[in-house]
Chains A and B, each alone.
Chain A
Amino acid sequence: MKTFLIGSMLFLAVLIGFMLLRAFQGPRFSDRLVAINVISTLCLCEVYLLVVLTGESFLLDIALIYALVSFVTTAVLSRIVVRRQERSPRQRAAVKLLEEEEREADVK
């Protein structure tokens, strides 16, 4: 059982490395944020397996704080980006462009 747990933890570490690569080469900011979210999930799995491997239940508190912090990070970052976008004139210009295109399509 111990070797299985250690092997699965190593496999999860490899998956975290691949997700870091994904976060590095994601073309847009939201791609990177999704990758960071998956990395936090994988880290939580690592902590659970560590709890079973070592038998130390205080690591669960760390996992709880980690889950909370990752959720707050995602929420705050997306809120900040949406606020900034709503304030910028580019968004309004883009909406106007789309409406004009739809009107032209209706005329055709």
Chain B
Amino acid sequence: MSAAIGCFFIGVGIVILFTAVIGMFRFKYALNRMHAAAMADTLGIGFILLGCIVLYGLSAATGKMVLLLLFLWLTSPIASHLLARMDVFTQQRPGNYWKEEKR
């Protein structure tokens, strides 16, 4: 029973990661792509870790997995923020995105 539940969670996580990769190919700009990447960073890896915890059973390693998940959830927004800041700063003309929206 627990094996089926774990496999279900891992399957959901893999579907979310696949969606993120499709988004990376379909979106046009780096700031749009970051939206898809953040989905993989939080939801996809969260579901896969949940499935791994269910499959592995309760032990010290499971606690380590939860700590890793917390670490990822703390650091991925910071990394995304730094990336977005870099992308905006390195525009040829700052404010390109909004200018194109207006036209």
A-side residues, CB < 8 A to B, are 1, 4-5, 8, 11-12, 15, 18-19, 22, 26, 28-31, 33-35, 37-38, 41-42, 44-45, 48-49, 51-52, 55, 57, 60, 63-64, 67-68, 71, 74-75, 78-79, 81-82, 85-86, 91, 94-95, 97-98
CB atoms of A57 and B64 under 8 A apart? yes
Q: Pick the contact of B83: A26, A37, A57, A68 (CB < 8 A).
A: A37
Given contacts A12-B17, A38-B37, 8 further A-B contacts (CB under 8 A): A1-B3, A28-B30, A29-B90, A38-B41, A41-B45, A45-B17, A71-B75, A81-B90
**From DSSP, what is the main secondary structure of chain A's interface residues?**
helix
CB distance from A75 to the nearest CB of B (A): 6
Q: Pick the contact of B93: A30, A68, A94 (CB < 8 A).
A: A94
B-side residues, CB < 8 A to A, are 3, 6-7, 10-11, 13-14, 17-18, 20-21, 24-25, 30, 33-34, 37, 40-41, 44-45, 48-49, 52, 55-56, 59-61, 64-65, 68, 71-72, 75-76, 78-79, 82-83, 85-87, 89-95
